[in-house]
Amino acid sequence: MESLLTERYAVLDLGSNSFHLKLSTIIDNQIQDYLKHKDFTSLISSIDAKGSVEKKSVVKFMQSIKKISNLIKENNPEHFRAVATNSFRIIKDHKFLSSIENNLGFPIDIVSAYEEAELIFKGVINTTEIVTDDFYIIDIGGSSTEIITIENRSIKNIASYQTGSSQMHNLFFKSSDKFTSFNKSSAWVQNIILNSNIIAPCQTKKINNKYEDVCLFQKNIPAYGASGTIKAIFRGLKALGLSRKEANKDDLSYLTDVLINKNTKYTKEVCLLEDSLGKDRVSILIAGLPIVISILSCLNINTLYRSNGAIREGVLYDLHQQYKLSLKV
């Protein structure tokens, strides 16, 4: 038992928006962090359509990786894994990938969408009190979004979409007209989601004298949000004096209104958001909201609950489980 208590675990999550390092111990199945480091890199914004990384940004990424490498070596955890997700899956520049790994000094696992979902599920189920056996997990990254359907506390279906907060920002939110950008991006996301096999086909109904497509939902189960984008939404709501544990459509609409009109009637509220989240995160938060709101609309869900873990926690629990199994051999 003493050996289990003193083991140190570390995970490096190389995401589309940022690089996260987390060092922890796990005692009585509870993660206790002793070091966290984050670099906001916006990697996805530096990858072109051919999967190449723009040269002017490479130095920034290498500096971040070297800094992280030094932190890992200084702390020398017994168990470590580096995982890379969607942005790394679309990079075709093998020289860049090799340089990242060489500067880190450790192997990097570029996980598939399915393995990413499994790790997210482990992170959610081990950190969050969920009373139902069936639920959704919604994970929104910088360049992809996963909707994971859980039935009987096992993964039933994974829907992965090539859309994330940074990508949405680059596609729609460069314009100063944030209201139009929000509406266009919402329509774009809903169109993508409707192709998912977890959503029943849409029916056309007459609403307010107009014919509109209505998304049908298969059954009423709760949804839990994971990932940096959703964490930022909950932190933003808390900064505005709202709940940090759950968010309904009215809460999300209010946050959207604040961000759309941040330079006019909500300057005080924007200062609160920037103090809590930082200007970089606030600048792309508006691009994540159309994804969240569109998913809730298509799933006919009014409330999104906050998960306490996601992929990083999933990796830590995975490492812990592997270590416990090794002691039995």
For 273-300, what is each residue's pLDDT tens digit? 999 998 888 888 999 999 999 999 888 8
Residues 185 and 215 in one domain: yes
**Residue 123 in domain:** no
Same domain, 247 and 161: yes
CB 166 within 8 A of CB 142: yes
The pLDDT tens digits for 207-233 are 454 444 444 345 678 999 998 889 999
Verify that 146 and 99 share a domain, yes or no. no
| Whole-number pLDDT of residue 210 | 47
- Based on the fold, state whether residues 155 and 265 are members of the same structural domain: yes
Least confident of 192-206, 239-253, 282-296: 192-206
The pTM (predicted TM-score) of the whole model is 0.87
Is 122 within a domain?
Answer: no
* CA–CA distance, 37 with 18 (Å, rounded to integer): 10
CATH number of residue 219's parent domain:
3.30.420.150
Q: Is residue 320 situated within a structural domain?
A: yes
Domain, as residue range, for 217 = 129-306
| Best CA proximity match to 164, nearest among 256, 289, 61 | 289
Q: How confident is the model at residue 198 (pLDDT cuts 50, 70, 90)?
A: very low
Measured CA to CA, the distance from residue 186 to residue 292 in angstroms comes to 9
In a domain, 252, yes or no: yes
| pLDDT at site 280 | 80
Mean pLDDT of 59-84: 97
What totals of helices (H) and strands (E) does the chain contain, helices first? 12, 13
- Residues 102, 155: one domain? no
Q: Are residues 240 and 138 in the same domain?
A: yes
Provide mean pLDDT across the span 77-105.
96
Same domain, 318 and 230: no
DSSP-derived secondary structure for 230-296: HHHHHHHHHHTTS-SSEEEHHHHHHHHHHHHTTTTTTHHHHHHHHHHH-HHHHHHHHHHHHHHHHHH
Structure tokens at 71: 């932190």
Q: What is the pLDDT of residues 9-25, one digit of tens each?
A: 999 999 998 999 999 99
Determine what percent of the chain is predicted with pLDDT higher than 70. 91
Q: Is the pLDDT of residue 51 over 50?
A: yes
Distance CA 91, CA 102 (A): 17
Clarify whether residues 72 and 156 are in a common domain: no
- When pLDDT is cut at 50, 70 and 90, the band that residue 5 belongs to is low
In the chain, the number of structural domains is 2
